[in-house]
Chain A
Amino acid sequence: MKDVIIGLEIHIQLNKLRSKLFCSCSTKYHDSEPDTHTCPVCLGLPGTLPVINRKAVDSAIKVALALNCEIEEWTMFYRKNYYYPDLVKGFQISQYDYPIAIDGKINIEIEDVEREIRIKRVHMEEDPGRLIHVGTIDRSRYSLIDYNRSGMALLEVVTEPDLRTPKEARIFLNKLKNILEYLDVFDSSLEGSLRSDANISLAGGARAEIKNISSYKGVEKALLFEIVRQNNLVRRGVKVVQETRHFDEARGVTISLRTKEGEEDYRYFPEQDLVPFTILDRVDDIKKTLPELPDAKRKRFVLKYGISDNHAKVLISELGLANFFEIVATELDAKLSATWIADVLKGELNYRDLDISAFSPDHIIQILQMLEKDKITENGAVQIIRTIMDEGGKPSEIVDRKGLLKIETDASENIVLLVLEENPAAVQDYLGGKEESLHYLMGQVMKKTRGRADPNTVSELLKKKLGC
């Protein structure tokens, strides 16, 4: 395959702010009727003027610092002129020269190798309204517009073309989302909270820009589709043209919106209704409010708790999970906690599409304490975790209800002898050299103990009784 060059422009909605970017409308519109969170300013009524939300600027500086950017001394807004039905003023207030920050970087891990992805710039702009196409964008007969989103604060993060595969793009996005969640500037669960434009070209070929991909997974899918499409063109000897494409999430394909000739001239020029303002003087204060970020937390987990880097990596992937781990690790052995949270608990949650907030740290502490005191088997612990997730309840009560207390060695020995007596054929087979028969006999013992016997003990007992 040819070299692939990918760059991303990610729009992050600062939906944890209380008000929009240039007016005092509430940002909590996600469960509301259309056009209920609007005012003359965000509807762009004639005569209205924008006033910058300084909290939004602070959030932007916070993100820029976390992305290791250089914060500019002062910043200003520009008008990006274009027509679209969701754009109330016929221009978007955005940034051009003198954005909030430039020249950042974040590290991502590809197959255990660290790669640095450069951030070209971070700038602020206002979100347009939301268009709802009846059907798909190319076939819809009419569209509806909801202006609740109009004027929401967006942060645009632009990468250098440093990404090489669709998978890298996904890993980068996850890392970015991870950092943003630590910064507490946005809620990724809300509709439209993160939208990406992806630029992609195959070595030597023209660049396609895929606009407005609204999901994380969509970015990888759209890029995979583009690579196949562009490769097919090259194979058939057709020239790849520079164009803007739309990703149809439902069909998993990209569609051409306009080619380079139709490319818009946005006629950027300074927004005179807002005055340039200094931001450098805010940086020191904001730096003090920066939380521990994922990379630093991962290092600290390894150093402080002596857990494996792999476990640390899983634990820091969600702030909630990391905090959960720290609560549990103060009560119990850190390595045991890390194993059970990162491997077992996380796996069971993922399987059920649940968040860590669905599980109480007290419950896992109680379960692991029982395990440490040898009162339950590992198998029993897993069963308790599953039961809590599926049916609810408390660990001690589930142990009683399901009879999960571990069986003592003496009791296990009696059951082993009984199984050997009941299965002479299997015993003969095993003695005759058939290794699998031991697994069969194990299974019979576990069945009789309903899993409460410790598998290691049972295995040892069996081998002893069989005389090997």
Chain B
Amino acid sequence: MRQRKRGDISRVPGLFSMNINGMRELFNSGNSVEETIHSTFDKIERSKLNAFITLSKEIALEEARILDKNGAKGMLGGIPIGIKDSISTKGIQTTCGSKILEGYVPPYDAHVIERLKLEGAIIIGKTNMDEFAMGTSTETSYFGPTRNPWDLKRVPGGSSGGSAAAVAGGEAPIALGSDTGGSVRCPASFCGVVGLKPTYGLVSRYGLIAYANSLEQIGPFARNVKDVALLLDVIAGYDSKDSTSINEKCEYLKALRYDVSDVKIGVPKEYFGEGIDEDVEKAVWKGIKTLEDMGASYTEISLKHTKYSLAAYYIIAMSEASSNLARFDGLRYGLRLEKDKDWHNTFSEIKAQGFGEEVKRRILLGTYALSAGYYGKYYLKALKVRTLIKRDFESALKDTSVLITPTMPFPAFKIGEKIGDPLALYLADVNTVPINLAGVPSISVPCGFSGKLPIGMQIIGRHFDEATVLRTAYAFEQGGGCDT
């Protein structure tokens, strides 16, 4: 490590648990952005978490020096951020956790990256993830599993496990993930941080490498609700490059109030059913009671079609994936064979070598579901179920302002514990996938512990009503949250 003049920064107490405001005050009082970024890299390089696939140290330090010179302006001036490796970053390798994209350096920035850069954020690297976001544990990454900062033997959740672990482990105050069926909320829950899946259409997907494009959204991670709201303020908004993007943005940070007296909570009984860990159930109910004590009301409700959601989700996600992943043929970018053969053999060999087992499984199942003779039986039927599920949510949220459920049925499991049983892993998504099918927003906030493992509480809202979701989460967090 090169010798350089160190300021006081690395000795600033609590630097690695600082929120955005704390860091901004640090820079405003004359501390160096470059020093902060340097310390951050020092920490990551010593880390055992394997939260990052690629570190963009040189670019980040250069950015930091510019900010030190010109002043760290913007809503995120000088704030380090980790970016899930499914989000395209110009000039920084973007692999989606797959061998097939090893060495691929996008020539363009995703829309959210452009927004972050405009606000002065510093991208420190690309975070680890399940290959092509297909997983619940970050174990399917070609670049090895990420570890949970609360217990290194356990998974951080997935697929955005690297982002959640980096935030929980003090390697970045904020991060971006993507959520197709729970990929932001699951790791947020397992790692004890806050993670939001926005309404479908609120955040531009331009630049997000697609797994299941009708379901996924890019979402923010942070250690507190306020930072998630601020990060959402930066990345949300209409983008002409994404035809599914909708201009429904509001000011999320400003919407945060320590007041839930008008909030009507719905508690869907189907989400507290079989397979939910006792500690998890208790912690979430305690959370609901906390909100009640603060003036919110709650009623138990039913989302009738919940039991069909896993099947519908996996059919839709795999079908779309089978098409979305077709482009990886090694011809223009990514993995290349030592010696080219005719294109049929080259394409199949690239895919055979480049894709991992779980990815292959989902491509094959998706291809099957879309095949002539099966399309109506599977894909079309799944779309119908999806409509019913969406209606469930819309009607439940007519009389309530938010729904509250456990994010995950259980706390973080051990690395290797479930990876051999794909079906058991799919079942872990039972409380998160219906939200993607319905397209509504949902946040996971820490609400307690099972032993030393964090538990997440899921707060679901109406389409484009992130403001109420965030306000409820904020009030809960301020009112005691997981410390109660």
The answer for the CA separation of A287 and B141 in the assembled complex, in Å, is 55
Contact with A along B240-277 (1 / 0, CB 8 A): 11111000000000000000000000000000000000
Across the interface, do A46 and B367 meet the contact criterion of CB distance under 8 Å?
no
Of the candidate stretches B40-48, B60-68, B323-331, the one touching chain A is: B323-331
Across the interface, do B108 and A40 meet the contact criterion of CB distance under 8 Å?
yes
Which B residues lie within 8 Å of A440 (CB)? Answer: none
The answer for the CA separation of A40 and B240 in the assembled complex, in Å, is 15
The answer for the CA separation of A88 and B322 in the assembled complex, in Å, is 15
Which A residues lie within 8 Å of B124 (CB)? Answer: none
Which A residues lie within 8 Å of B208 (CB)? Answer: 47
Across the interface, do A49 and B241 meet the contact criterion of CB distance under 8 Å?
yes
Please indicate which of the listed interface residues A40, A88, A145 has the most CB atoms of chain B within 10 Å of its own CB: A40
Which A residues lie within 8 Å of B472 (CB)? Answer: none
Across the interface, do B326 and A49 meet the contact criterion of CB distance under 8 Å?
no
A461 within 8 A of B: no
Of the candidate stretches A268-276, A333-341, A430-438, the one touching chain B is: A268-276
Across the interface, do B327 and A274 meet the contact criterion of CB distance under 8 Å?
no
Of the candidate stretches A79-87, A179-187, A300-308, A351-359, the one touching chain B is: A79-87
B19 within 8 A of A: no
- A40-B108, A90-B327 given; A47·B243 CB < 8 A: no
Please indicate which of the listed interface residues A47, A267, A273 has the most CB atoms of chain B within 10 Å of its own CB: A47
Across the interface, do A88 and B107 meet the contact criterion of CB distance under 8 Å?
no
The answer for the CA separation of A46 and B107 in the assembled complex, in Å, is 11
Which A residues lie within 8 Å of B87 (CB)? Answer: 47
- A51-B241, A267-B323, A267-B367 given; A46·B329 CB < 8 A: no
The answer for the CA separation of A265 and B369 in the assembled complex, in Å, is 12
B426 within 8 A of A: no
Across the interface, do A50 and B243 meet the contact criterion of CB distance under 8 Å?
yes
Across the interface, do B243 and A273 meet the contact criterion of CB distance under 8 Å?
yes
B332 within 8 A of A: yes
The answer for the CA separation of A89 and B329 in the assembled complex, in Å, is 9
B333 within 8 A of A: yes
B297 within 8 A of A: no
B295-354 at interface with A (beta carbon < 8 Å) = 319-320, 322-323, 325-329, 331-333, 343-344, 347
A52 nearest CB across to chain B (Å): 7
A381 nearest CB across to chain B (Å): 60
| Closest B residue, CB atoms, query A51 | B243
Which A residues lie within 8 Å of B206 (CB)? Answer: 47-49
Which A residues lie within 8 Å of B325 (CB)? Answer: 90
| Closest A residue, CB atoms, query B215 | A272
B379 within 8 A of A: yes
Across the interface, do B241 and A47 meet the contact criterion of CB distance under 8 Å?
no
Across the interface, do B243 and A269 meet the contact criterion of CB distance under 8 Å?
no
Across the interface, do B213 and A83 meet the contact criterion of CB distance under 8 Å?
no
| Closest A residue, CB atoms, query B201 | A275
Which B residues lie within 8 Å of A88 (CB)? Answer: 327, 332
Which B residues lie within 8 Å of A46 (CB)? Answer: 88, 94, 96, 101, 104, 106, 209-210, 327-328
Which B residues lie within 8 Å of A272 (CB)? Answer: 213-214, 244, 320
Which B residues lie within 8 Å of A91 (CB)? Answer: 323, 326
Which A residues lie within 8 Å of B332 (CB)? Answer: 43-44, 88
A45 within 8 A of B: yes
B332-386 at interface with A (beta carbon < 8 Å) = 332-333, 343-344, 347, 367, 370-372, 375, 379
The answer for the CA separation of A273 and B214 in the assembled complex, in Å, is 7
The answer for the CA separation of A90 and B367 in the assembled complex, in Å, is 13
Interface of chain B: mostly helix, strand, loop or mixed: loop
The answer for the CA separation of A23 and B131 in the assembled complex, in Å, is 29
**Partner pick for B375 among A50, A79, A269, A273, CB 8 A cutoff:** A269
**Partner pick for B379 among A45, A90, A265, A269, CB 8 A cutoff:** A269
The answer for the CA separation of A274 and B208 in the assembled complex, in Å, is 15
Across the interface, do B209 and A47 meet the contact criterion of CB distance under 8 Å?
yes
Across the interface, do B371 and A45 meet the contact criterion of CB distance under 8 Å?
no
B344 nearest CB across to chain A (Å): 8
The answer for the CA separation of A45 and B333 in the assembled complex, in Å, is 9
Which A residues lie within 8 Å of B244 (CB)? Answer: 272-273, 275
Which A residues lie within 8 Å of B107 (CB)? Answer: 40, 45
Which A residues lie within 8 Å of B329 (CB)? Answer: 83, 85, 90
B157 within 8 A of A: no
Across the interface, do A267 and B243 meet the contact criterion of CB distance under 8 Å?
no
Which A residues lie within 8 Å of B379 (CB)? Answer: 269
| Closest B residue, CB atoms, query A39 | B108
B463 within 8 A of A: no
B225 within 8 A of A: no
B207 within 8 A of A: yes
A274 nearest CB across to chain B (Å): 5
B194 within 8 A of A: no
B201 nearest CB across to chain A (Å): 10
B190-230 at interface with A (beta carbon < 8 Å) = 205-210, 213-214
B284 within 8 A of A: no
**Partner pick for A267 among B88, B209, B371, CB 8 A cutoff:** B371
Which B residues lie within 8 Å of A145 (CB)? Answer: 331
Which A residues lie within 8 Å of B209 (CB)? Answer: 46-47
The answer for the CA separation of A391 and B354 in the assembled complex, in Å, is 65
B86 nearest CB across to chain A (Å): 8
Which B residues lie within 8 Å of A40 (CB)? Answer: 106-108
Which B residues lie within 8 Å of A265 (CB)? Answer: 371-372
**Partner pick for B205 among A49, A81, A83, A89, CB 8 A cutoff:** A49
A266 nearest CB across to chain B (Å): 9
A-B contact pairs, 13 of them (CB 8 A): A45-B108, A46-B209, A46-B328, A49-B206, A84-B343, A88-B332, A90-B327, A91-B323, A91-B326, A265-B371, A267-B372, A269-B323, A273-B243
- Per CB-CB distance, the 5 closest pairs between chain A and chain B, nearest first, are A90-B326, A272-B214, A267-B370, A46-B209, A47-B207
> Beyond A81-B326, A90-B326: 10 further Cβ-contacts under 8 Å?
A40-B108, A47-B205, A48-B108, A83-B329, A89-B327, A90-B329, A91-B326, A265-B371, A267-B375, A269-B379
